[in-house]
Structure 1
Amino acid sequence: MSEEEKTPAREVITEYAQEHFRYFRTGDGTVYAQKKGHPVARPIRSQGTTGSHRQELMVGLYRDGRGVFNGTALKEALDLIEALALTEDVQSVHIRVAPGFDGATWLDLGRDDGQSVRIHPAGWEVTVPDPREVCWRRTQLTGELPVPVADTDGKGIDLLLRLCNFAGPQTECLAIAWLIGCLGPSVPVPAPFLTGPQGAGKSTGGRMLVRIIEGMSGDLRRAPTDEENLTTTVAAGWVTALDNLSHLTPALSDAMCRIVTGADDVKRALFTDGDVFRIAYRRPLLMTGIDVGVIKPDFAERLLPLRLERPRVRRTEAELWAEYAEVLPVVLGSLLDLTVKVRAAEAETPTDLRMADFAHLCAQLDAATGLGALAAYRQSLDDLNDDVIEGDLLAQTVLKHAESIEPGGAQRMTSTEWLHCLSRLYNGDELRPLPKGWPTTGKVLSDRLKRLQPTLAARDVLIDSGRTSEGRYLEMTRPPNPPADEGKRMF
């Protein structure tokens, strides 16, 4: 055959690729390759050292006797494939958890054969999803989960709680609610903060919770030094677990708020001047530590404190993790059984809590099991409000001033007048200096009070703002005392 009659290498590669792979694009324009009949998809531009589409294409061509091709031919073929794929329908890719058809959700077991768990209203099953229903994206953080055991009769939950050192039933039911929430792709869940004295097994307990969802390779990580590193880590996995936190900068606190409830970042694409790419994420987040210091009010509403206690009997790491690995299939099966039961339960959605989806899940868990998760969640938020107040001198001063206002009464002043009033109250007769971070202008005070609104409202002090012909004002109100039976807390 003459040189003119030979098929160009790029055409051989393109023909082979379209015969064995399905190509599509996501909403942000990234093109993925999916081996036909298999649910795992890889970005065609991935340059990873293992498992990239370029590598699997080269191996397939070689094993099927099509030949070995140089980098130029592969690049030209992939350029053409990418251009063609941009005209295809849009489909999403998911890490670990995904929505499916007919109200079902999926859990990726991370297996090479693509087997996953389909959780549907009637139960759950292990099967390979239709590639057009679910496309899995895997990274180096995607570990393999064992095949869950069916019909465990709840035994796995008891085994898990026996291995962890949770301090009481309230903490246990909140941990269970969080695990169920992690299996829901559309349910924002608060971030558990495992705390307790030294030696309480906080890191071990955190690993146990994470590995139920991420497999035995899942682990805790050092807290990142900046927001960019944090978002990169979060986008590459499902559950992000940070170990031994002792301090949160304001920037990291804000970033964690966005991770819990969802965010969309835009960054400049590499080697370009004008192109950008999007990183959209909403992920379960878990943290461990003795104390993270002063908690910002908005982050407090997204936290879930889980207290642990020191174990009475110590065990070796090898013994503990050997037992955990043995019971993990049963634990996962029991969690799936309970998830199906909880999702089928009917319950009203509490309308007074920030994380309404998780509050509704707690109410469903109560309807299915009677554990009292919603009351425990309310109690945890109340305790966090105390932590916020104890760490904020301005909040303490506002509450002290509010005691002078009769229930049902209100007081209105400009922000500057409020600043003078609260500063005099803090100084008292001792004329002590104002603390570091105290508002220096009325505008700064107004902004601080806006951030403190949920915390103050939980203590029956309402802050509102408005404008009259004379200018802007801040109004502090104390609601009327409710009747005794209505004001009684249910926990």
Structure 2
Amino acid sequence: MAEEEKAPAREVITEYAQAHFRYFRTADGTVYAQKNGHPVARPIRSQGTTGSHRQELLVGLFADGLGVFNGTALKEALDLIEALAMSEKVQPVHIRVAPGFDGATWLDLGRNDGKSVRIHPAGWDILTPDPREVCWRRTQLTGELPLPAKDTDGKGIDLLMRLCNFANAQTESLVIAWLIGCLGPSVPVPAPFLTGPQGAGKSTGARMLLRIIEGMSSDLRRAPKDEENLIAAVAAGWVTALDNLSHLGPDLSDLMCCIVTGAETIKRALFTDGDVVRSRYRKPLLLTGIDVGVIRPDLAERLLPLRLERPRVRRTEAELWAEFEDILPIILGSVLDLTAKVRAAQAEIPTDLRMADFAHLCAQLDAATGLGALNAYRAALDDLNDDVIEGDLLAQTVLKHAAGNEPGLEVRMTSAEWLHAITQLYTGEDCRPLPKGWPTTGKVFSDRLKRLQPTLAARGVLVDWGRTNAARYIEMTRPAVPPPDQQEAAF
């Protein structure tokens, strides 16, 4: 094509694009295109063949009778549009859940017409959001949700619990709290860990919880073998569900902690020497497994154990999922009803729990329904502390040492002295061999103790660090138990 013919093609594409699409950039500099009046935004540099901006631009030009354009003209037009968009106002894009105006939040139903759910304290409505209020980003992991049913009177919650095999009402209250938490874009929620005997329906229950938020096309997946693949999966969806975990190594455990409470990953941009790509993530996680071995203390504070029991009556997969798909609009409607009710409820914020936002949500749920979710959450965390202690011989030995001290007595020693004392207590008179991973230096002992500090405090052993003019020390105290009348006054 001659040079004089390329310039008009460039201009035709640019004029058409600016007339039919709104272009803006996000905080990381990525430029998105949003069709006028439609809330879905697509990155203009996407090279995908399904739903990319290049594709919708080519289809629009052809459908409006402007012709078919080659790749060179399209690239030159998009280069100019991208450069112009860099001076536009910054606006974020969201996957599945987004904050809105006036304290409302939005839930993307994944529909082609852009209809979404606006949740506010007075209720919820099905609307098409103003593109300047909410920009949805869609990926291959964004499934379609049905239009939720109105005026369900809580029927959907009962239908869901009838299909699942949760062990008791306390577990069911935590399930409800987690589902409500998943509809809040700014509330970090602990990762439910569905556990129970073989055949308890852990994977089936996890799929149901996942599909309430992500649609019927979503499914569980195995844990990726490396950090980069897991981060890519987390960034492309809202809820990430990992099935049949049998081991949580240190790297995977640390990464899960970051996913639950939020972190950022930076890597070099492709085909560049100095540019970088930032990936921020704080997404809900969902896990299943019978036994994952030793749980690290920092991950235990971010987990939500949900126990299931084996059902007495078995059903076929086809029958079960056909029923679930039929009642999904009712389930989703009931969850939305309860979400609006809970957000309008007033409750004090518990200040003694790590996941304070989720604890506050449980308190609001209790104020709205009286389900006892906060007490159930405290009990669940207490069980996890037991799991941490049972899997850590150092924690067991420290507790044994503290039990032999007088309540209220402050014991101070250097880290090396503490290591010697705890090691001697573990080996005993028979000098049994030390287990693999036992601290070998005072510094390693001190670092391990810092990880165990919240777990030990939950069992009445307070650990603190300090220094004198001579050296640093570690202080352990087992506070005296207050009289019964003072305990009652504390509550």
What is the TM-score of this pair, normalised by structure 1? 0.98
Q: Deviation of residue 9 (structure 1)?
A: 1.2
Show the counterpart of 1:380. 380
Give the direction of change, closer, same or farther, for the CA distance of 1:346–1:68 in structure 2 (3 Å limit).
same
Q: Give the counterpart letter for 1:385 in structure 2.
A: N
Deviations 1:410-449 (A, max 9, x none): 1000000011000000000110111100000000000000
Show the counterpart of 2:477. 477
- Correspondence list, 1:132-143, <5 A: 132-143=132-143
Show the counterpart of 1:203. 203
Q: Deviation of residue 6 (structure 1)?
A: 8.4
Q: Deviation of residue 148 (structure 1)?
A: 0.3
For structure 2, the 5+ residue unaligned runs are none
Q: Deviation of residue 484 (structure 1)?
A: 2.4
Structure 1 CA distance for aligned equivalents of residues 113 and 147 of structure 2: 12
Show the counterpart of 1:284. 284
Structure 2 CA distance for aligned equivalents of residues 413 and 108 of structure 1: 57
Checking the alignment, whether the CA contact within 8 Å between 2:241 and 2:287 is kept in structure 1 is yes
- Correspondence list, 1:204-223, <5 A: 204-223=204-223
Checking the alignment, whether the CA contact within 8 Å between 2:453 and 2:463 is kept in structure 1 is yes
Q: Percent identity?
A: 81
- Correspondence list, 1:18-417, <5 A: 18-417=18-417
Structure 1 CA distance for aligned equivalents of residues 213 and 3 of structure 2: 56
Q: Which runs of 4 or more aligned residues in structure 1 lie more than 6 Å from their structure 2 counterparts after TM superposition?
A: none
Q: Deviation of residue 480 (structure 1)?
A: 2.1
For structure 1, the 5+ residue unaligned runs are none
SS of aligned partner of 1:102: helix
Structure 2 CA distance for aligned equivalents of residues 170 and 356 of structure 1: 19
Checking the alignment, whether the CA contact within 8 Å between 2:6 and 2:73 is kept in structure 1 is no
Q: Deviation of residue 408 (structure 1)?
A: 1.4
Q: Deviation of residue 299 (structure 1)?
A: 0.1
Checking the alignment, whether the CA contact within 8 Å between 2:22 and 2:34 is kept in structure 1 is yes
Deviations 1:334-380 (A, max 9, x none): 00000011111100010000000000000000000000000000000
Q: Give the counterpart letter for 2:257 in structure 1.
A: C
Q: Give the counterpart letter for 1:142 in structure 2.
A: T
The alignment covers a number of residue pairs equal to 490
Q: Give the counterpart letter for 1:256 in structure 2.
A: M
Structure 1 CA distance for aligned equivalents of residues 376 and 406 of structure 2: 31
Structure 2 CA distance for aligned equivalents of residues 129 and 305 of structure 1: 36
Structure 1 CA distance for aligned equivalents of residues 13 and 442 of structure 2: 68
Structure 2 CA distance for aligned equivalents of residues 4 and 255 of structure 1: 54
Structure 1 CA distance for aligned equivalents of residues 349 and 405 of structure 2: 33
Q: Deviation of residue 381 (structure 1)?
A: 0.3
Deviations 1:17-70 (A, max 9, x none): 000000000011100000000000000001112111011111111111111111
Deviations 1:295-341 (A, max 9, x none): 00000000000000011110000000000000000000000000011
SS of aligned partner of 2:158: helix
Structure 2 CA distance for aligned equivalents of residues 277 and 236 of structure 1: 15
Show the counterpart of 1:13. 13
What is the TM-score of this pair, normalised by structure 2? 0.98
Q: Deviation of residue 467 (structure 1)?
A: 1.3
Q: Deviation of residue 471 (structure 1)?
A: 1.1
RMSD: 1.6
Deviations 1:158-199 (A, max 9, x none): 000000000000100000000000000001000000000010
Give the direction of change, closer, same or farther, for the CA distance of 1:18–1:416 in structure 2 (3 Å limit).
same
Give the direction of change, closer, same or farther, for the CA distance of 1:3–1:266 in structure 2 (3 Å limit).
closer
Give the direction of change, closer, same or farther, for the CA distance of 1:5–1:276 in structure 2 (3 Å limit).
closer
